[in-house]
């Protein structure tokens, strides 16, 4: 007689309820429901690997399944746990839907699909998202929370709302309607109730009509001018940034800055590109940029072409305004043979063909410029804005 034989057919023995597993060790990091480790990815297009070999989160966490047990060997390939695993699914927010083929086509490459932050302006009406590589055997749900705080319930007016939009053959789409406030919000996707992927939507103040106010866009070398914020947004914090070129950019106040040009600009290499931005705790957004031509000298720099025509004597004429190194443009329009060659375009006894005659299409197009600077002028910094 044995304990086993004595208890055969008596059913399962009762045991105490399983306690909630609210934390697990992910390498050198303790993770919990409030602060989960979402992905341990390598950004090389391969599947996720754990941060260390100490622990691969898989199994039951707070009484529900977490992690990709299918891919870590705990479930056989082809099982529901495997087909609904997180690793083969990812969220995109730039995509097209082929309704005829019932497919979602991402506009991302293999690396870009790992980008986890979406930056939008306050007042953006909606953001479309999609989960790719879905399976009909799985259930996909969406939720939105304040960044880092996954406590239910949430207030829609505070975090916005995400609504499932449709299920395609290879993907499920949804539309996020952001709140009318600045902040950061996490969009969570769950597969069969398991949190799998996260995208953070960062809402920054809208630029609206904010732009850079300036005096001139062609500056003599060694001079300074004041830049301002036109149509500022109330409560927005502005910053100035020298994106390219040389010189000194100094913020004077919330809505004003000064730019001081350098003393030299050989071959126009120092021309500055200046940006006006709105900054917040979460991100920054560029409202406007300008390029300033830093120049020296006053000699003839080139022609700005205004039009062409089959004109007087029925020949192709080009019309242009001369401009100079200091940015001055002669208000008097000049004319001459297109490309320095007279081209006949009509007969004397017929009505003039006019501006669009086919024989004059080789003339310089309106708005184009002809650079007449010498090598010495270029090295000395003759850089009028017409040549930008």
- Between CA 94 and CA 109 the distance in angstroms is 11
Q: What pLDDT score was predicted for residue 356?
A: 55
The answer to whether position 108 is within a domain reads yes
- Mean pLDDT of all residues in 119-123: 83
Q: What pLDDT score was predicted for residue 210?
A: 94
- Mean pLDDT of all residues in 251-257: 92
pLDDT digits (tens, 9 = 90+) for 156-187: 999 999 988 776 666 788 889 999 888 899 98
Domain boundary among 204, 224, 241: 204
| pTM for the structure as a whole | 0.59
The answer to whether position 68 is within a domain reads no
- Mean pLDDT of all residues in 63-76: 39
Under 8 Å CB-to-CB from 174, ≥6 apart: which residues? 128, 129, 130, 142, 162, 163, 164, 165
Domain that holds residue 257: 211-295
> Nearest Cα to 242, choosing from 220, 260, 218?
260
Let me know whether 310 and 342 are in one domain: yes
- Between CA 211 and CA 288 the distance in angstroms is 5
The CATH number given to whatever domain includes residue 270 is 2.60.40.10
CA distance readout (Å), 13 to 3, 8, 35: 13, 11, 36
Element (H, E) at 55: none
Domain boundary among 295, 314, 338: 295
What does the block give as tokens for 181? 């406030």
Q: What pLDDT score was predicted for residue 140?
A: 83
3-state secondary structure of 322: strand
From the CB of residue 189, how many other CB atoms can be counted at a distance below 10 Å?
Answer: 23
From the CB of residue 136, how many other CB atoms can be counted at a distance below 10 Å?
Answer: 8
């Amino acid at each position: 007689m044995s304990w086993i034989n004595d208890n055969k057919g008596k059913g399962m023995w009762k045991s105490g309820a399983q306690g909630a597993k609210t934390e697990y060790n992910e390498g050198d990091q303790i993770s919990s429901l409030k602060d989960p480790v979402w992905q341990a990815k390598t950004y090389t297009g391969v599947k996720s690997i754990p941060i260390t070999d100490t622990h691969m989160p898989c199994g039951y966490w707070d009484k529900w399944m977490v992690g990709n047990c299918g891919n870590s060997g705990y479930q056989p390939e082809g099982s529901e746990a495997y087909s609904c695993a997180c690793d083969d699914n990812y969220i995109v927010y730039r995509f097209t839907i082929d309704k005829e083929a019932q497919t979602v086509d991402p506009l991302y490459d293999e690396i870009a699909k790992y980008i986890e932050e979406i930056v939008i302006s306050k007042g953006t009406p909606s953001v479309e998202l999609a989960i790719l590589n879905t399976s009909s055997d799985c259930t996909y749900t969406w939720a939105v929370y304040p960044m880092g705080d996954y406590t239910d319930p949430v207030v829609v007016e505070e975090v916005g709302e995400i609504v499932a939009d449709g299920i395609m053959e290879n993907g499920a789409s949804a539309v996020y309607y952001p709140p009318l406030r600045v902040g950061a919000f996490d969009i969570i996707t769950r597969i069969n109730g398991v949190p799998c992927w996260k995208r953070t939507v960062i809402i920054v103040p809208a630029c609206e009509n904010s732009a850079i106010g300036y005096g001139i866009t062609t500056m003599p070398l060694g001079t300074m001018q004041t830049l301002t914020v036109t149509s500022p947004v109330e409560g927005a914090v502005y910053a100035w940034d020298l994106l390219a070129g040389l010189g000194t950019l100094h913020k004077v106040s919330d809505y004003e800055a000064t730019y001081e040009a350098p003393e030299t600009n050989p071959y126009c290499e120092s021309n500055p590109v200046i940006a006006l931005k709105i900054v917040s705790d979460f991100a920054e957004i560029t409202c406007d940029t300008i390029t300033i031509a830093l120049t020296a000298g006053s000699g003839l720099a080139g022609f700005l072409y205004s039009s062409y025509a089959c004109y007087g004597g029925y020949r192709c004429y080009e019309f242009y305004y001369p401009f100079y190194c200091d940015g001055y443009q002669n208000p008097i329009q000049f004319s001459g043979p297109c490309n320095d060659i007279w081209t006949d375009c009509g007969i004397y006894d017929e009505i003039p063909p006019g501006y669009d005659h086919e024989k004059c299409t080789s003339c310089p197009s309106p708005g184009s410029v002809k650079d007449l600077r010498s090598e010495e002028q270029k090295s000395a910094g003759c850089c009028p804005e017409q040549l930008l």
